């Protein structure tokens, strides 16, 4: 008999607890964006694997360094000078020809662009902005 009296009281307390739908949506959005940012960070940390099997970094600083290397290499090749090597994520230099470097840079640029598009699409899907 005692238990039947407690149960109705418990039912009266539960309806008093409500969740603000706007606050919940804001929290869900923040969690979703954090998840997308973590996914992107993981992709950047993984890097880009070249046909030779070594990895290149994908951070903005890596893109800048590789682009600078490519510009320098094109000038060096035009003047019949030695092309600077590419340094991979492990710090290992890799000598390449200008044709190899061009092929790597085209694939690298395409991969990085596709990654950025995917990141933007995931953010938009969560935030709608």
Is 3 among the domain residues? Answer: no
**Tally of domains within the chain:** 1
What CA–CA distance (Å, rounded) separates 27 from 9? 31
Is 9 among the domain residues? Answer: no
Is 4 among the domain residues? Answer: no
pLDDT in tens, the chain (129 residues): 445 555 555 555 555 667 777 887 788 888 888 999 999 999 999 999 999 999 999 999 999 999 999 999 999 999 999 999 999 999 999 999 999 999 999 999 999 999 999 999 999 998 886
Domain that holds residue 30: 24-127
What CA–CA distance (Å, rounded) separates 79 from 81? 5
- For 15-97, where are the alpha helices, taking DSSP H only? 21-46, 60-78
Amino acid 17: pLDDT: 66
Amino acid 52: pLDDT: 92
Is 67 among the domain residues? Answer: yes
Amino acid 70: pLDDT: 96
Burial of 70 (0-12, 13-18, 19+ CB in 10 A): buried
Decide: 47 and 55 in contact? Cβ < 8 Å: yes
């Amino acid at each position: 008999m005692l238990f039947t009296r407690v149960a109705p009281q418990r039912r009266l307390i539960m309806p008093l607890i409500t969740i603000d739908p706007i606050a919940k949506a804001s929290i869900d959005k923040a969690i979703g964006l954090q998840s997308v940012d973590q996914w992107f960070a993981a992709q950047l940390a993984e890097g880009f694997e070249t046909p030779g099997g070594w990895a290149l970094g994908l951070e903005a600083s890596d893109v800048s360094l590789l682009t600078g290397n490519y510009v320098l290499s094109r000038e060096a090749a035009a003047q019949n000078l030695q092309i600077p090597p590419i340094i991979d994520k492990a710090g290992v230099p890799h000598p390449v020809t200008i044709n190899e470097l061009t092929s790597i840079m085209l694939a690298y640029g395409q991969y990085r662009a596709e990654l950025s598009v995917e990141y933007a699409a995931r953010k938009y899907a969560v935030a709608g902005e």
